[in-house]
Amino acid sequence: MRDRADALAYIRPMLSPSEIERYARHLVLRDVGGPGQQKLKAARVLAIGAGGLGAPLIQYLAAAGVGTLGILDDDAVSLSNLQRQVLHGTPDVGRPKVESAADAVARLNPHVIVEAIPERLDAGNACALVRGWDVVADGSDNFATRYAVSDACFHEAVPLVTAAVGSFDGSLTTLRPFERSGSGELNPTYRCLFPEPPAPGSVPSCVEAGVLGALTGVLGAMMALEVIREIVGFGEGLVGRLVLIDALSMRFETLRYGFDPENPLSGTGRLGVDGPQ
């Protein structure tokens, strides 16, 4: 009882009584507690996309008490989104996704500040958009955005949690390529894992191939978990590890990958923000 009283005395000046009750299940977790919840409250996280992956990602980060959530998306809610994009509802059809998402966050947790960014990220504006955030979580649905985000996070030294989903499969990893591992080796970049995007048209889009709605929920929640682990600092992160999900066989695998000295970001033939150097 004394330990709990001491813990509450520590967090009371920093969390309001309603926040203490709201985050009670976090506060009693040994690896989160008051200090971890304070880190979450102070954190700034940018979510790229408010769609299939972004919807559960945003919901769980808001519920966890991340202090400032940036939501970047230039799309509007359509009826076909609602099979998987559970952040939005039928009355939101036609609204900008960032507005619908901001309203959903406000309903869920009024302590979270939302910065709605109704823009499309590309190679030209990516560095400016990711700059100043503590963690970026990329749930975009196209290769051009994924590469632009990962390149920009490398140049701006921002940790990146990135996921992708197919019809019945998905993947998740974390990138800190601006740092070195415990052994002193440079951490891998996204381009160490996937050097170049596939040729246009070689991979069918969600519209063409379909996607299992619940699978985006699983991956989006896992993204939120990884972001929380990055902020609070517990467990073994996914830097240099790629989680693969096969929903047809309900199989999860984790593969290790390393730094490629020939990668175009931190290896030979480096690419600057505006091209080869």
Output the domain CATH number for residue 93.
3.40.50.720
Burial of 112 (0-12, 13-18, 19+ CB in 10 A): buried
Q: Model confidence at 2, in pLDDT bands (50, 70, 90)?
A: very low
**Sign of the CA dihedral running 243, 205, 118, 116:** negative
Tally of domains in the chain: 2
Q: What is the pLDDT of residue 52?
A: 95
For residue 5, what pLDDT is reported? 44
Task: Indicate if 127 belongs to the active site.
Answer: no
**Count of other CB atoms within 10 angstroms of residue 75:** 15
The answer to whether the beta carbons of residues 149 and 121 sit under 8 Å apart is: yes
207 in the same domain as 118: yes
CA 268 to each of CA 26, 124, 127, 176, 178: distance values in angstroms, whole numbers, following the listed order: 44, 23, 22, 18, 15
Whether residue 210 sits in one domain with residue 191 = yes
| 234 and 103 within one domain | yes
pLDDT band at 3 (very low <50, low <70, confident <90, very high): low
Domain carrying residue 18 = 1-34
Residues 18 and 86 in one domain: no
* pLDDT tens digits, 166-201: 999 999 999 999 999 988 899 999 999 998 887 776
* Res 269: pLDDT: 61
| 22-60 residue pLDDT tens | 999 999 999 999 999 999 999 999 999 999 999 999 999
Same domain as 57, residue 30: no
Instruction: Look at residue 156 in the predicted model and tell me its pLDDT.
Output: 97
Helix axes 54-64, 213-232, angle to 10 degrees: 40
86 and 30 in one domain?
Answer: no
Average pLDDT over residues 226-250: 96
Is the pLDDT confidence value at 273 over 60? no
Of 127, 153, 192, 206, catalytic: 206
277 or 12, greater pLDDT = 12
pTM of the model: 0.90
28 with 48, same domain?
Answer: no
Token pair, residue 264, equals: 């175009």
Residues 22 and 56 in one domain: no
Specify the pLDDT at position 203: 67
